[in-house]
Amino acid sequence: VPDGKGERPAATDFVDLGFARVDVGRLTRTGDPEVVYASGKAPSATVEIVSVLHTAAPQRAVLITRASDAHVEALRNRWPDAIVDQTTVAVGPMPQTRGRVVIVSGGTSDGHVVAEASMTVAAFGSAPEVIEDVGVAGLHRVLAVRDCLDAADVVVVIAGMEGALPSVIGGLVGTPVVAVPTSVGYGANFSGLSALLGMLNSCAPGVVVCNIDNGFGAGVFAARVARRCVAGRHDWEHP
Amino acid sequence: VPDGKGERPAATDFVDLGFARVDVGRLTRTGDPEVVYASGKAPSATVEIVSVLHTAAPQRAVLITRASDAHVEALRNRWPDAIVDQTTVAVGPMPQTRGRVVIVSGGTSDGHVVAEASMTVAAFGSAPEVIEDVGVAGLHRVLAVRDCLDAADVVVVIAGMEGALPSVIGGLVGTPVVAVPTSVGYGANFSGLSALLGMLNSCAPGVVVCNIDNGFGAGVFAARVARRCVAGRHDWEHP
Amino acid sequence: VPDGKGERPAATDFVDLGFARVDVGRLTRTGDPEVVYASGKAPSATVEIVSVLHTAAPQRAVLITRASDAHVEALRNRWPDAIVDQTTVAVGPMPQTRGRVVIVSGGTSDGHVVAEASMTVAAFGSAPEVIEDVGVAGLHRVLAVRDCLDAADVVVVIAGMEGALPSVIGGLVGTPVVAVPTSVGYGANFSGLSALLGMLNSCAPGVVVCNIDNGFGAGVFAARVARRCVAGRHDWEHP
Amino acid sequence: VPDGKGERPAATDFVDLGFARVDVGRLTRTGDPEVVYASGKAPSATVEIVSVLHTAAPQRAVLITRASDAHVEALRNRWPDAIVDQTTVAVGPMPQTRGRVVIVSGGTSDGHVVAEASMTVAAFGSAPEVIEDVGVAGLHRVLAVRDCLDAADVVVVIAGMEGALPSVIGGLVGTPVVAVPTSVGYGANFSGLSALLGMLNSCAPGVVVCNIDNGFGAGVFAARVARRCVAGRHDWEHP
Amino acid sequence: VPDGKGERPAATDFVDLGFARVDVGRLTRTGDPEVVYASGKAPSATVEIVSVLHTAAPQRAVLITRASDAHVEALRNRWPDAIVDQTTVAVGPMPQTRGRVVIVSGGTSDGHVVAEASMTVAAFGSAPEVIEDVGVAGLHRVLAVRDCLDAADVVVVIAGMEGALPSVIGGLVGTPVVAVPTSVGYGANFSGLSALLGMLNSCAPGVVVCNIDNGFGAGVFAARVARRCVAGRHDWEHP
Amino acid sequence: VPDGKGERPAATDFVDLGFARVDVGRLTRTGDPEVVYASGKAPSATVEIVSVLHTAAPQRAVLITRASDAHVEALRNRWPDAIVDQTTVAVGPMPQTRGRVVIVSGGTSDGHVVAEASMTVAAFGSAPEVIEDVGVAGLHRVLAVRDCLDAADVVVVIAGMEGALPSVIGGLVGTPVVAVPTSVGYGANFSGLSALLGMLNSCAPGVVVCNIDNGFGAGVFAARVARRCVAGRHDWEHP
Amino acid sequence: VPDGKGERPAATDFVDLGFARVDVGRLTRTGDPEVVYASGKAPSATVEIVSVLHTAAPQRAVLITRASDAHVEALRNRWPDAIVDQTTVAVGPMPQTRGRVVIVSGGTSDGHVVAEASMTVAAFGSAPEVIEDVGVAGLHRVLAVRDCLDAADVVVVIAGMEGALPSVIGGLVGTPVVAVPTSVGYGANFSGLSALLGMLNSCAPGVVVCNIDNGFGAGVFAARVARRCVAGRHDWEHP
Amino acid sequence: VPDGKGERPAATDFVDLGFARVDVGRLTRTGDPEVVYASGKAPSATVEIVSVLHTAAPQRAVLITRASDAHVEALRNRWPDAIVDQTTVAVGPMPQTRGRVVIVSGGTSDGHVVAEASMTVAAFGSAPEVIEDVGVAGLHRVLAVRDCLDAADVVVVIAGMEGALPSVIGGLVGTPVVAVPTSVGYGANFSGLSALLGMLNSCAPGVVVCNIDNGFGAGVFAARVARRCVAGRHDWEHP
């Protein structure tokens, strides 16, 4: 019988590998398992951490982000059926999806962020739908997908340079908008700062923002919102 | 008869006051009316704009943010039953609420941002619940409200200084977290920059961020998400 | 007899007032007289400088920008028929206009920059046409004025916050776009930095940018371009 | 019969390649075709996009900027008579030119930006004239080309380090000045920031600014202005 | 007989190698020998400097930080029993330790800074104890080591991203906290700036901060404090 | 009987005043009571919070920092024997002191930060000793107090402008150095940024840094270290 | 008898006022007395410090910079014949001058920095000559004073906005140029940052830079150089 | 016969190579020839420019800075007796020296900037004297060279990290101090920003600053001052 107290973190909620303390209790606490950020970790250490998480919850895919070629190779050696999209990897079965997340990008150069967001949405249990290259310099491209944006549970907008796309979309539809600035651009772009500031200062109400190039964070947030919008959260988190 | 096409913006969807083009079509397009940002506008101009919005949709409160004392006085002269909370004003009947938004702040100095967020949530049709002063330097204060955070449809976390609270909450519960950095602090706080960067770089997954001191933006976003989580969006936007 | 060499600056092309060296030769060199930036100058000194310029070229209005109330009072005491629009003042007859400059703003709070730009366009010999409050959060307001933008010789776009309006307009029409970021906004707006960076990184081709709140600079540039577009520059500068 | 409505963007104004939505309607809307920013795009994808644009308007050259060696090779394989200048490529016939754009640089290290600007001016239908290495530390080099600057329809000034050249030129002649800061320099140059800020704060009236190293943007703007100065815009855009 | 005056620096307190003036008097002045920062020095020069320091005080290990592979090889050639941990090297006998420094890190990617801090603590005469990967997104991992933190003489907290860990630990225990921001993260992390600002603005009292990735500085400071806490400083510095 | 477990935070460790959750458990957890940061709080609310803390632990002074004149007046009305030094106030008996903290400042303009640090050191149970105005431009002033620095348990160095003093002192003595940058200066000082960066990059080993003007944080840290250096920590925290 | 050793600082080279340690030995060490920076000091404390310096060396004027009206009043009460120029004050006899320092400013708004520099040059024993308002937008004003610049021993160039004037002058003459950026300007001027960066990146060789608005620093440096250029330094410093 | 007018720049004072306008008149105007900044120039173009300058004034060495290995090789192929020190090259006979410039560095890692400054001083006609590695963390190393600093005509101080050395030296001696910040350091050093800001805010009077790593600029300035200090400038510039 769940008693409320049972959900609280205990000292045994993590596995101590010496070089890492893997948070196997996060699935219980938050409804989603820990995700492995591969950058800066040795491939072998990454495999070991994934292994602990996979063993702890084999029914739910483990997500690995910012994986280099070496990481991907090491993960595929161990789990040949791992799903790989550019720098994002999933080990284990993807969950069933609820709700719909539309991912829109301003240009084709934003593609790697789109891929990270899309795979994260799927691994966190919602259905991603991708629409690329609808920058504001050709406004009719935005207007052409308006119905699609309107029907989504949440929209993720990914754009570099001046980052104006979330403002335009946020003024067109009432769907919640999660904006992701990208580092695409040069000069006074300052590696994504211009898009970041632009999105934070959006004149359209209800635009929220993630870190530069952070498709993962946007994907997690959007999936959580989208799956709640469909059948209520209690079904999902406490089946 | 609404025909899908009728929802598209038309040249007549705004009222031209000469000094302002009031967007009376936003309610139809996005499900929520235009909001008036009072800062930098003359009190008389503010009253005139509110008047146009109120006339266009008398059944839904018009929200005015960043109102000075002079703005408040002018609005109250015209609409004596206007609701005022610090610098936020509402003219007209508040909507029924759906869903629940918990608003958490790190310290008592964040109070004005809490007020703006809370009133916005209510004006955008969701129920705000405020928990103040649960900064991370006294972690047990956070742990004590864990059930409340867990039960919310969305959590708005407002904090200044290092802005660490969203990371702590984002690791405790799976509720979507909207973070608002505040300008509370001094020195290397750089008017809220430290909290802003901290929140954008949160190691907890699924934290999204608003502009510094932007309780309004967080409120709009949170209300939109929360009311969708209850009975589906279509009831709300197309009654 | 003008001989080409006569247009070159000479040591006598300025009037030395001790505290200032008034550039009375600029009208000959560049086709437009020197303009007085009042901020930081004593009102009496400002009057003295204007007097020198007015005497040197009484047929063309002297423009004074960033005038405080004290400056305005001192100027009006001396020249009762001076034209005043907020912080911009003109002493002497305004020139005939050639070409048309459309000045568009994102919000009503940008009004003081609009006023500076508009009066400068007129003082530099072109006809200003002002369209205010057409922010991108209500895109139909932009689309409604498209014909007007299309017909202009040059468009000045003034906007704060994320500064997205020039990108939207630059993608709609082929008219040259001069963008002016304003300091309207708060928090991560950083006193206009967000709009400035947004405009510098515009994905629409052919958008050029002025300093934050610099309606004057945009007005000078736009007027010079507009009057050239009509009857050729030689008529104007060498009548 | 053109009816005003026919110029408006339609949902069919772009070609959807899946990974890109090519804006083939921009030529009609703005008088100039879409340009391909190659950086971050696969060479094959670049070729495909160019192909769509070239097919849609074979009578006007397609411009490709920031092309790497791999891009250039792929483009030349497909169109052997493509024109290449450093990182800028043109596919298809260059337009006839109207008006004259003088491009001035402060030093020989600014050469790649000069090349981008020059080729863009030509592809956008005006005649570029290049004068390199006239930095302000040798003022007589500027004075020596004064007649040339005076006779131009518009001057593009390209400079790194302190970016003082536009101020000097803007005080000498009345020709409209478009300034391009470059990243040439080191230390407190901060990758072009010093030149950018210098140009934005120019004490010469009527100087407008582009992004750092953005020879393309300056070229588009300058060509549009220059060709309008000659025979009126209507000839060009609606032949 | 020490006479107070004898401790003062003299012109002979350094050894002039021509390219370097090695401060052999620092051990007497401050109780700890000079440390060699290898970055930017030639391997041979590094060996020569270490040699001077080692000769001057053979009883106390010389510490070398930020050593490249080439530096390590050169040092090991000369002193085969040098101790090497990643980029930190010690030549000569390590001192006996007094007091205990607990080094805590937020994630496994902070490992290289942990190694530098740990080896420095040992070389400066205190006992390091390392606890890695206890980030705030899994708070129970922090709570599980609370007793250990409480029992330390000083705690060094190493974290990247938002740098929130020192605030959480500083609110849990009264042990002095030395915080080290790391450059781990991306985007608006700005190479460690977010963690640096977060730590400087910590709402927990008594948190002090080192430079980004500066495990060395934190190690020196922590060791000095820890060894004083045990038996009084005079034993250590004046045996 | 204390059992180790009893020290852990419980939900009853704070007092909920509605507008504030006062952390009365901090004294037990960390050995020092919560401190009240008055800036941004109403004087009456400040008095109420102080009252809760004072009642919970009447034997130990409550410290209030950044108090305005209105705060001071309200506090003195309630507790006439409150100790006031510029903007710092203490209510209740000051603790006995252990250990010695020397506070050194670079110039007389740093006085308000010196006062905050000094009073904090005393309220946290150590003995402050202040030496003002020993800037590096007159090095002999530093050398003259060397014995005093050498004899301290910890040195707090407070300086604005270039913040070089900690480097000089850190190279002279082995005493742990806590550096506080101040906002004293102008221009490229950028409100204390120059001193902050200077101190973070100190070439002297073992210098740690606090936020700009943060005499309080330095005082807490220094007092904690100093009192541990004398008789061992256990006497203090568990009497 | 001076013996070389006697010039070294001694512990008695300063006067300890409790709140300040006045460096009365600086005149002997460096050839110039200490200067009092009044900002942030109480008027009475300022008078006391000046009194100590004046008594120690009555034959050489004491300089006080950044004096407010209250400072000036207090100083004049005590020394009625004090010389005052805006915010700079001198108490005691001005030294005879050697060498000539030309001070050039870009605009009349830079006047207060010019005044500080000019009075400092005089108090440090060289002859200032001021030429104001020769901004680069009117180049002939610079060319007109070329002989004067050429004949100076050192030139101090004071300018705000883009700070281009030192580059122009540095390319015209071989006189050493000391550049002072001012905070004159607005927007992307960022309180003098644009002029500072411009001057640091000057393409003219041999331009050195002072802090923003630091007329004092430039004056000291220029005077020291100028008086050495005339009759050799030994006459001056060791009469 | 020199007539005053003859020194003025003429249109023939430069040689137009097409890709560069070599300023051969600078020697006459400023007393020193143009210097070639090799970075970003092709080796062959560099050789060609040097050739023009060398031909115009064979009696005075041409200086080339920031030369890569390829530049050095090309220059040595053409002029086998070129003098090379790291990245600085001189072609032609070095001038006789007058006056003495002491160049002091804080650490051995600053060596490449020291080399650039030293060679520039020599090429501009003064005698450099180098003292390396006298950082402030070992103050006695500075005090040991005090006589040498005192006897110099000008001191160039080169330091990275916190850049405190110029403040210390500026307080010790009255010799004019030219400070050069270097990019040596890491983390919050921000590529030399910390040293730059530190030097600009020096509390020692009369410290002037060059761009980060700009040994060349400091060398030019110092040489010009030093040679004037000896026998008067007129001998040098007009022999």
A179 and A166 in contact (C-beta within 8 Å)? yes
Can you tell me whether residue E223 is helix, strand or coil? helix
| Confidence tier at C5 by pLDDT (50, 70, 90) | very low
- Helices in B36-164 by DSSP H: which ranges? 43-56, 69-78, 111-123, 139-144, 146-151
Full strand arrangement of the beta sheet holding A207-209: A127-131, A100-105, A154-159, A177-181, A207-209, B207-209, B177-181, B154-159, B100-105, B127-131
Instruction: Tell me how close the Cα of F99 comes to any Cα of chain E, in angstroms.
Output: 11
pLDDT digits (tens, 9 = 90+) for C55-88: 999 999 999 999 999 999 999 999 999 999 999 9
- What are the E-state strand segments in chain C? 15-16, 21-22, 36-37, 62-65, 83-85, 88-91, 100-105, 127-131, 154-159, 177-181, 207-209
DSSP state of F99: S
Q: What is the rounded distance in angstroms from the CA atom of residue B25 to the CA atom of residue F48?
A: 49
Which segment of B167-176, D156-165, E42-51, F8-17 scores lowest on mean pLDDT? F8-17
pLDDT tens digits, H87-99: 999 999 999 999 9
Calpha distance A74→A68 (Å, rounded) = 10
| DSSP string for A152-168 | SSEEEEEE-TT--HHHH
Task: Among H133, H183, H190, H193, pick the best mutation site for testing chain E contact (most E Cβ within 10 A).
Answer: H133
E21: contact with F, CB 8 A cutoff? no
Q: Determine the Cα angle at E24 with ends E20 and E28, to 5°.
A: 150
Q: Which chains touch E (3 or more CB pairs under 8 A)?
A: A, B, F, H
Q: Residues of chain A whose pLDDT is less than 70? A: 1-12, 231-239
Give the start-end residues of each E strand in chain G: 15-16, 21-22, 36-37, 62-65, 83-85, 88-91, 100-105, 127-131, 154-159, 177-181, 207-209
Give the model confidence (pLDDT) of B51-77 as tens digits: 999 999 999 999 999 999 999 999 999
- The pLDDT of H214-222, averaged and rounded, is 97
pLDDT at G125: 95
| Predicted confidence (pLDDT) at residue D14 exceeds the cutoff of 90 | no
Contacts of C136 in chain A (CB under 8 A): 136, 164, 167-168, 171, 203-204
Q: Measured between alpha carbons, how far is C154 from C146 in angstroms, rounded to an integer?
A: 13
Q: Is B234's Cβ below 8 Å from some Cβ in F?
A: no
Query: G174 and H224: CB-CB below 8 Å?
Result: yes
pLDDT (tens digit, 0 to 9) for every residue of chain E, 239 residues total?
233 333 344 446 888 888 888 888 888 888 888 899 999 899 999 999 999 999 999 999 999 999 999 999 999 999 999 999 999 999 999 999 999 999 999 998 899 999 999 999 999 999 999 999 988 887 888 899 999 999 999 999 999 999 999 999 998 888 999 999 999 999 999 999 999 999 999 999 889 999 999 999 999 999 999 988 875 444 444 33
Nearest to B30 among A173, A211, A232 (CB): A173
Neighbours of chain F (3+ CB pairs under 8 A): B, E, G, H
Percent of chain D whose pLDDT exceeds 70? 91
Residue position matching structure tokens 């993260």: E185
Whether the pLDDT of residue C233 is over 70: the answer is: no
pLDDT computed for residue B27 by the predictor: 87
**DSSP per residue, G35-80:** -EE-TTS-HHHHHHHHHHHHHH-TTSPEEEES--HHHHHHHHHH-T
Q: What whole-number distance in Å separates Cα of residue D97 and Cα of residue D84?
A: 19
Q: Which residue has the tokens 């070409």?
A: C99
Coil, strand or helix: which one is F137?
Answer: helix
Q: Is E183 on the interface with H (CB under 8 A)?
A: yes
* Structure confidence at residue C207 (pLDDT): 95
Per DSSP, the residues of D139-202 read HHHHHTTHHHHHHSSEEEEEE-TT--HHHHHHHH--S-EEEEE---S-GGGGGGHHHHHHHHT-
H-only helix segments in C62-214:
69-78, 111-123, 139-143, 146-151, 165-172, 193-200
Partner residue opposite E221 with nearest CB, options F4, F196, F208: F208
Chains that touch G (3 or more CB pairs under 8 A): C, D, F, H
Q: Which two tokens stand for residue C142?
A: 């932009």
Which pLDDT score, from 0 to 100, does residue H138 have? 79
Q: What percent of chain G is predicted at pLDDT more than 70? A: 91
Helix, strand, or coil here: G131?
Answer: strand
Mean pLDDT, each 10-residue run in order, chain G (239 residues): 38 79 86 90 95 94 96 97 95 94 94 96 96 86 91 96 94 93 95 96 93 97 90 43
User: Which residue in D29, D147, D209 is closest to C173 by CB distance?
Assistant: D29
Rounded Cα–Cα distance for residues D97 and D108 (Å): 26
G93 alpha-carbon distance from chain centroid = 17
Residues in A touching E109 (Cβ below 8 Å): 37, 39-41
What pLDDT digit, counting tens, does each position of G163-190 carry? 999 999 998 888 999 999 999 999 999 9
pLDDT beyond 50 at D9: no
ipTM of the prediction greater than 0.95, yes or no:
no
Alpha-carbon gap: G213 to the closest alpha carbon of chain F (Å): 7
- Name every chain C residue with its beta carbon within 8 A of the beta carbon of B10: 140
Query: Is B11's CB within 8 Å of C139's CB?
Result: no
pLDDT < 50: residue spans in chain B: 1-11, 232-239
Q: Is the pLDDT of residue D218 over 70?
A: yes
Q: State residue D212's pLDDT score.
A: 98
The DSSP 8-state label assigned to residue D206 in this structure reads: T
Across F41-65, average pLDDT: 95
Q: Are C75 and C91 in contact (CB under 8 A)?
A: yes
Q: What is the pLDDT of residues C177-230, one digit of tens each?
A: 999 999 999 999 999 999 999 999 999 988 999 999 999 999 999 999 998 887
Residue A35 CA to residue H41 CA, distance in Å, equals 48
pTM beyond 0.90: yes
Contact D229 C229 (CB under 8 A): yes
Q: Pick from C32, C16, C13, C35: which is nearest to C24 by CA?
A: C13
Contact at CB, D206 and C224, closer than 8 angstroms: yes
Name the H residues in 111-130 with CB < 8 Å from any F CB: none
d(CA H81, CA B192): 59
Q: What is the pLDDT of residue B40?
A: 86
Backbone φ and ψ of B31, nearest 5°: 90, -5
Please give the C-alpha separations between residue D122 and each of D36, D60, D106, in angstroms, as whole numbers: 16, 11, 21
Nearest CB neighbour to B162, from listed E106, E167, E187: E167
User: Do the beta carbons of residue A79 and residue A89 sit within 8 Å?
Assistant: no
Provide φ and ψ at D191, rounded to 5°: 60, 35
